[in-house]
Chains A and B, each alone.
Chain A
């Protein structure tokens, strides 16, 4: 499916508006859109809303043999999927330039920054280590997929708890969550990607471009940083620019707050999971509680057999 083409008039208007420092939704040049974080019922699942862009990350783990070159370290595996749900231009199974770019950036952001202690994932040196797998699905593409992905991935990793293991000699026992409490991953810091888009050969730049701004931009600069203002990686396709990174602290605080809330709810035994996040005040949302099925009235089930008079009648009071 093709996406709607961008008309000349839209392009000219967007560029003119950017020259006057005006954005389509009224933001300033360094403003982020509203970010919302929700966690799922099982550990390691997180959905992030960045304005209208929506991304889901799921973390899972399994025991595997480690790499020969690093027998003491666990393995981190990232898998990004551009779901056809996110945009009509994304096709399933087709590996596009955008997908490769996002995958590489996510790996650089999380693996090369060494934010996760991989040595703690080792169970039996040289034989069994944990492989942590992060799957990210795009649900709605309204610009700036990379930032939303990095937030979702790091939030899901912080939320994830792996099963506890016991080693006795040669035997490795993996305890289920009911037997022993699962253990969280040890994360040193939270690297988050900030995207800056350039227009008119680097003269103007915008933080967190939305989908239409992305279509008219000249280049993109992705900087991965953490709360302590350490730069983890820079990836640019375009000119170079000076930058403002105040947004960093706010985003990290937001993630920590969301994690705290979720931990509190789980401890109190409250219900967790996506069902709890439904905004009930909206008219597009409807929920009901457990309903019982009304068994009054006879039910006639016609069974398909050679003689067509077979009819099975189930009496309601016996159901």
Chain B
């Protein structure tokens, strides 16, 4: 690891705009919690069932069993979906209070409606909103941010599919709401340690926007005095 005390980073070029967000909560009648999240053109729907009955073979005696299912639009599930499921599952397990529901199952299903870049980040955001909608106890919120590093070093946040394809590396981070720490990272391509730090810093800043959006959405939802 490089030893550095303060870094002179005057030449970082970055495009720090996030695409427009949209979300809708409780849109499906069967699941206990559901949400759809839209980032630019990328659109994902998430549904949560739980805490529900679990098969004896899968039950854990002191915590809930979390299952994440990602469904692509076309074709059978492949390794790519499995690895994305693993990333989302690690993030959810870190933020959900699983000890409160032993021997029960929590199922999170994510459906791709349209993929136009930053898909894993969109999965994470939709998952967080759906878990909140279902009323599952969580210790903190999380959000997903994607950065793409072009061959000249320019960092683009929330890249579109075209930008992702032309970039040298694509990094996705899951950031938590209490301490802005990185809960999960998934990277593709080659980049230097310096660029990694810059992307993490940018993601932490971007996560503030996303958490503010969550708060406004939930406030709007509870705004009707019933």
Taking the complex as a whole, does A directly touch B, i.e. does some CB pair lie under 8 Å apart? yes
Tell me the A residues contacting B by CB distance below 8 Å: 1-2, 40-42, 45, 47, 52, 54, 56, 58, 60, 81, 83-88, 92, 133, 135, 137, 139-142, 273-275, 278-279, 282-295, 299, 301, 303-307, 310-315, 318-319
| A286-B216, A303-B197, A314-B9 known, 13 other contacts, Cβ within 8 Å | A41-B114, A58-B73, A85-B31, A140-B31, A284-B24, A284-B221, A287-B38, A291-B20, A292-B18, A293-B202, A299-B204, A303-B193, A314-B201
**Residue of A58, A137, A291, A310 most packed against chain B (CB within 10 A):** A291
Q: Is B188 an interface residue (CB 8 A)?
A: no
- Say yes or no: B213 contacts A288, CB within 8 Å: yes
Contact of A286 among B22, B105, B193 (CB under 8 A): B22
Q: Chain A's nearest CB lies how many Å from the CB of B19?
A: 6
- Say yes or no: A42 contacts B114, CB within 8 Å: yes
Contacts known (A284-B25, A286-B23, A305-B1); A275 close to B217, Cβ less than 8 A: no
Pull 6 A–B residue pairs with CB atoms less than 8 Å apart, ordered by A. Answer: A139-B45, A275-B43, A283-B223, A284-B24, A284-B27, A304-B1
Of residues 131 through 156 on chain B, the ones whose CB sits less than 8 Å from some CB of chain A are: none
What A residues does B83 contact at CB under 8 A? none
- Say yes or no: B18 contacts A290, CB within 8 Å: yes
What B residues does A290 contact at CB under 8 A? 17-20
Contact of A284 among B16, B26, B216 (CB under 8 A): B26
Q: How many A-B residue pairs have CB under 8 A?
A: 189
Expressed in whole angstroms, the Cα–Cα distance for A47 and B116 within the complex equals 18
Contact of A319 among B16, B28, B114 (CB under 8 A): B16
- Say yes or no: A85 contacts B197, CB within 8 Å: no
Q: How many residues of B are in contact with the other chain, CB < 8 A?
A: 70
Q: Chain A's nearest CB lies how many Å from the CB of B145?
A: 9
Q: Chain A's nearest CB lies how many Å from the CB of B160?
A: 12
**Residue of A52, A290, A304 most packed against chain B (CB within 10 A):** A290
Expressed in whole angstroms, the Cα–Cα distance for A140 and B109 within the complex equals 12
Q: Chain B's nearest CB lies how many Å from the CB of A224?
A: 25
**Residue of A133, A286, A310 most packed against chain B (CB within 10 A):** A286
- Say yes or no: A299 contacts B205, CB within 8 Å: yes
Expressed in whole angstroms, the Cα–Cα distance for A308 and B201 within the complex equals 18
Contact of A2 among B17, B43, B53, B223 (CB under 8 A): B53
10 A-B pairs with least C-beta separation: A305-B1, A287-B22, A286-B217, A293-B16, A85-B47, A85-B109, A299-B201, A140-B28, A318-B10, A284-B25
- Say yes or no: A278 contacts B38, CB within 8 Å: yes
Q: Is B41 an interface residue (CB 8 A)?
A: yes
What B residues does A311 contact at CB under 8 A? 5
Can you name the residue of chain A whose Cβ is closest to the Cβ of B55? A1
Expressed in whole angstroms, the Cα–Cα distance for A275 and B22 within the complex equals 7
Q: Chain B's nearest CB lies how many Å from the CB of A159?
A: 14
What B residues does A273 contact at CB under 8 A? 41, 43, 114
Q: Is B7 an interface residue (CB 8 A)?
A: yes
Expressed in whole angstroms, the Cα–Cα distance for A58 and B72 within the complex equals 10
Can you name the residue of chain B whose Cβ is closest to the Cβ of A92? B69
**Residue of A40, A279, A293, A313 most packed against chain B (CB within 10 A):** A293
Q: Is B29 an interface residue (CB 8 A)?
A: yes
Contacts known (A273-B41, A293-B205); A137 close to B71, Cβ less than 8 A: yes
Q: Is B190 an interface residue (CB 8 A)?
A: no
What A residues does B26 contact at CB under 8 A? 284
- Say yes or no: A293 contacts B206, CB within 8 Å: yes
Of residues 1 through 59 on chain B, the ones whose CB sits less than 8 Å from some CB of chain A are: 1-12, 14, 16-31, 34, 38, 40-41, 43, 45, 47, 49, 52-53
Contacts known (A40-B113, A274-B114); A52 close to B12, Cβ less than 8 A: no
Contacts known (A1-B49, A284-B27, A292-B17); A83 close to B71, Cβ less than 8 A: yes
